[in-house]
Amino acid sequence: MKEKMEAVAEQKIAIDLYKNGQNRKVMEPLFRWTSLVFAGLIVLSLAAMILVMVVESWPSITTFGIRFIWDTAWNPVTLEFGALPYIYGTVVSSIIAILVATPISIGCALFLTEMAPSWIRAPIGFLIELLAAIPSILFGLWGLFVFMPFVREYIQVPLNQFFGFIPLFAGEPRGLGMLSAGLLLAIMIIPIITALARDVISAVPSLQKEGALALGATKWEVMRKVILPYSRVGILGAVMLGLGRALGETMAVIMIIGNRPEINLSLLEPGQSMAGVIATQFNESIHSLHVSALIEIGLLLFLVTFLLNVIARFLIWKVSGGKNGVRVVQ
Amino acid sequence: MLSKRFSEKKGVKGGLLFLAILMLALLVAACGAGNDNGSQSIDPAQTETTEPTDASDSTEQDQAEQDSAADDAEGGEEGYAPPTANVTLRGAGASFPHPLFMSMFYDYNQQYPNIIVDYESTGSGGGQRALKEGTVDFAASDAYMTEEDMAEVPNGGVIHIPITIGTVAIIYNLEGIDTGLKLTQETLSKIYLGEITRWNDPLLVADNPDLDLPDQAITVVHRSDSSGTTSIFTDYLSKVSPEWAEKVGSGTAVDWPTGIGGNKNDGVAAQVAQTPGSIGYVEFAFAVENNLTYAQLRNKDGYFVFPSLEAASLAAADAAANMPEDTRVSLVEKGGKDSYGIVGTSWLLLYKEYPDPDKKAAIQHLVSWMYREGQKHAEPLHYAPIPEEIAQINDRNLAKIK
């Protein structure tokens, strides 16, 4: 009885495979064309987005021309608009975030992959991924109510007291400002960079590490001479993804950057980001030129992100020795 | 053997399929919830009086109609009959009156289930744009339209209907000083111009002899987003300070001479609460509901007045005397012993022509209901009601709709 059933089942499979054979003639081209359409949709939606942004910002482009990029005025009453303070705010806060987040993330990733006892890796890894999934508005609220007073009392006030003679830390420590925004962004992107860097580092072949250890290298030397060179392209990629999030981050930055479109050398002074001004002013702005200028800011944000990506690609290309791949050093 | 492996695979596939369906279901549920938040539409399906066949419901409905008919008779000249057909009215605009509108539209829909009002709070600018593009039946705005913008409105042009009065309170964070700091037109504008920078400035001390004002820097907080509240506040500063009018001007967003920006009312309130020595401005309702410390302000007649709904309505009543027929006028700094200075109108923007007769009837009935009967929803939500003087101007304007 059982044998008979098995025989029937096998026969069925044979029939299935035969049918599949027939299907291949239809399914394969269908699959190829469907995936092509999906890939095309991405390109198309991107093109549509750029087109709409250019069309909508055209009044602003023709009114202000190229000086829109370096003009510092932003006056919705007299309708004079310039983007430089916002570009400055976005770029500077993102750079602070990257400078703070990168060493911490790499250290955390190295600890998790190379040094932590195995029972601790999974829970910490899970927590990091959880941190990466927290909505940015929660980061913003926490930033405003908890983080900002902390930054003011324990970071800004001492910085201002001891290093106030450096223009970077001059001014009134209010809590809000470029430094707070950069630090909050750093906290937001650390989990992303850490999670990706951890995956990259754990992909380093153990043969390489064991070889170095066999030659008498210490743990630190293995990390510095084997692991980091091997994985630096991947780590750079992780940092770039973090930078991407920092550049586009809107709600959390609005809560803490101070929202003042000014270029101040001091990191304690308030600033404003490009995404921030669009999010805050778009809804209630009445004059069409104001709206148009906001959309042009969006276009510029797109451009800034694109440029930074190009620079990142170039860096990766340089680091990997001109080849588009991973190179093992030494 | 082969069959066993095969069935195992099928099991895995089934599991994956189940998971996929589960996730899809969750996603759909999440999207549904999201939609509810995005545009609060009030449709008969959500209210209790949906089944026309249900005897008790229909009598309730009749009762409501009788009530409103009685109201109309009492109210006088402008009795608009609601249409009998099913009508959906789409509106968009200011976020300031949004909570009031939700309360009004819910009540209205209970009484007239065949009229569905759908309002999206896209902001005053969004409302004006939608009106110009003709994608809505009405809009709401905290600033009146300029001549230039009015020329672009289709369907015969625009009618402005004042629907509620907004009041702006000045909030501050000074240790040991409770509600009641006295500010004048001069000190307030100088603080926002960045000319008064410390709390113990002689001008402030002179107005507050009984308060112990600290030697502390003033941190000015303003709205970073464009808003009707900012429009009212800067309108006030432009009115009372020629220097402000010349240097800054008024609008939903301006180029602030000093200070830091908070996002929306809660952003400003949080910024003020977190920063010792700060001053900011928020909607009065927001200040009351959150127990913020707010200032009294000297009015046009020289009295120090706390912001209140009565003080706002008094200012509006004072303005009604010389109000132009199109109601496009600012309400700030009006006369009267008890009137408060920083007050502004929130308008409904209607078309002059509605080609669909049912829509025309529905708009006229709804709007006249809103500025008369519907005003009972204003005070519980801390909105100042429209005074009768302005309601009469509205009656005349509403009658012009073709």
d(CA A41, CA A37): 6
| pLDDT the model gives residue A286 | 75
Give A68's pLDDT tier (boundaries 50, 70, 90): very high
Q: CB within 8 A of B394, min separation 6: which ones?
A: B161, B162, B327, B367, B368, B371, B386
pLDDT in tens, A123-163: 988 898 888 888 888 998 899 889 988 998 899 999 988 88
The predicted model gives B184-194 an average pLDDT of 94
pTM over 0.80: no
ipTM: 0.73
CA-based nearest residue in chain B for residue A282: B226
Subunit contact A286:B227, Cβ cutoff 8 A:
no
A3 touches chain B (CB under 8 A): no
Closest Cβ opposite residue A145 in set B2, B143, B270:
B270
CB contacts, 8 Å: B267 with chain A: 144, 254-255
pLDDT in tens, B376-391: 999 888 888 888 888 8
Subunit contact A290:B126, Cβ cutoff 8 A:
no
Per-residue pLDDT for A310 more than 90?
no
Per-residue pLDDT for B42 more than 70?
no
Share of chain A above pLDDT 90, in %: 45
- Highest average pLDDT, of A28-37, A275-284, B267-276, comes from A28-37
Subunit contact A176:B271, Cβ cutoff 8 A:
yes
To the nearest 10 degrees (0 to 180), the angle between helices B388-398 and B357-371 is 170
d(CA A229, CA A224): 7
Subunit contact B261:A259, Cβ cutoff 8 A:
yes
The predicted model gives A171-198 an average pLDDT of 91
Question: How many other CB atoms sit within 10 Å of the CB of residue B32?
Answer: 9
Give A322's pLDDT tier (boundaries 50, 70, 90): low
The predicted model gives A292-306 an average pLDDT of 92
Q: CB within 8 A of B203, min separation 6: which ones?
A: B186, B187, B190, B196
| Best residue in A71, A262, A284, A290 for a mutation probing chain B (most B CBs within 10 Å) | A284
- Residue whose entry in the numeric block shows the structure tokens 């004072």: B318
Give me the helices (H) in A77-224, please.
84-110, 118-132, 136-142, 148-151, 157-163, 178-202, 206-214, 219-222
- CA nearest neighbour of B385 among B104, B41, B78, B90: B104
Give A97's pLDDT tier (boundaries 50, 70, 90): very high
Share of chain B above pLDDT 70, in %: 81
